[in-house]
Structure 1
């Protein structure tokens, strides 16, 4: 069953914001290169993205699917969603972004670690 599993924040200083959350809440992060760091608790995790090519305008909720990312994209489009970023790879998986009919942007991902 797909579930909301991730929230992503666009940040200019990944290390500084990572350190803030680590100090403020004791959260542990895994760095996936200089431009990305994330908690990896398996619950609802927080990602910090320094990707200037694809900055999110606001917090980006990300839904996890356990199989068939292409099928999930097809279902989003069929339900009335608009794709804002087609399927792309990143360290740890693949994902796409879409806008729902109300204009909210979300992502959908499939982990490579299953």
Structure 2
């Protein structure tokens, strides 16, 4: 359900939409709907969004916002990410409230995963 003036949708770049769909469906169970050759929407992710065709990446070193996902089992999620071709770019570290790590998806977009563990 949409809320007035609340974050409603997020879009990220990806050059290979087929590969990005494979990665996120395999690791996180996201589902996709294609909208032409240059855009794919995702759902079942906590917040709906999409990937648009682009050679650029979303990385915090370039000033991009950081999408942070939640996991009940941080180690298992990290294992699943690596098995699907993701790369850990910042190993797990403690922060007030839990632990998290950052990863790059097959396109190079940086996201993070956190847990209370």
Q: Given the two structures, how large is their TM-score scaled by the length of structure 1?
A: 0.47
Structure-2-length-normalised TM-score: 0.46
